[in-house]
Amino acid sequence: MTDLKTTTDLLGELIALPTISSDSNLEMIALLANRLGDLGAEVDIQTDATGTKANLLARIGPGVLWVAALLACLLTLDRLFQADFEDGSLDLLIIGPLPAEMLVLAKVIAHWLTSVLPLIVIAPILGLSLNLPGDSIFALTGALLTGTPTLSLIGAVGAALTVGMRRGGVLLSLQIGRAHV
């Protein structure tokens, strides 16, 4: 309910602002800049020669790459244990001599290497295409390297909970998507 209240409050504030093109837009630009800055966007305000009009530039490139990493992870999570469950090899692996934790960790590492690591490898190129500064590109790549394994680990919990369901992918996305954010 809080998200809806916040959204309606923001819309109310925006609607209350004057939007006549002959008037100054600085109040609206300041409001949007504060809201986007609170969400983590890099905000740049550029005023015109008179100082009464402004343009707002917001860089959301790092957020775009994080969402891409999250979606790349979620895309294949529903099949993490599904094939082994369907052919019965999951039962054999569980009763085998190796600890179940090691088997799960091996599957999670394989999932991360095949679904998320390729995105991290091309993250510097994607960062350049999103016009990120050079130091931000390396920081973002390092953050993706350290943060995305957690996405796979959390996703493994959801995949294990939905392994016996026929259409568990949707439920998995709903339950794990909230935990990732």
Q: Quick one: 67 and 18 in the same domain?
A: no
Q: Quick one: 73 and 20 in the same domain?
A: no
Q: Quick one: 116 and 156 in the same domain?
A: yes
Residue where one domain finishes, among candidates 59, 86, 101: 59
Residue found under tokens 């931000």: 136
Q: Quick one: 90 and 151 in the same domain?
A: yes
Torsional class of 178: left (φ above 0), alpha (ψ -120 to 50), beta (otherwise): alpha
Q: Quick one: 129 and 72 in the same domain?
A: yes
User: Residue 11 — φ and ψ, nearest 5°?
Assistant: -65, -40
Question: What pLDDT, on a 0 to 100 scale, did the predictor assign at position 2?
Answer: 61
Q: Quick one: 138 and 51 in the same domain?
A: no
Residue found under tokens 């957690």: 150
Per-residue pLDDT of the chain (181 residues; tens, 9 = 90+): 466 677 788 788 888 887 777 778 888 888 888 887 776 677 878 888 888 887 776 677 788 888 899 888 888 888 888 888 888 888 888 898 989 899 999 999 999 999 999 999 999 999 888 878 888 888 899 999 999 999 999 988 888 888 877 776 667 777 776 666 6
Helix H segments across 2-133? 2-16, 26-38, 61-77, 82-87, 89-95, 100-115, 117-121, 123-129
Q: Quick one: 155 and 134 in the same domain?
A: yes
Range of the domain at 84: 61-180
Q: Quick one: 75 and 161 in the same domain?
A: yes
The Cα 179–Cα 172 span in angstroms is 11
Q: Quick one: 108 and 71 in the same domain?
A: yes
| Residue of 125, 133, 117, 105 whose CA lies nearest to 44 | 133
Question: What pLDDT, on a 0 to 100 scale, did the predictor assign at position 178?
Answer: 67
Q: Quick one: 87 and 65 in the same domain?
A: yes
Q: Number of folded domains in the chain?
A: 2
Q: Quick one: 55 and 65 in the same domain?
A: no
Q: Quick one: 34 and 83 in the same domain?
A: no
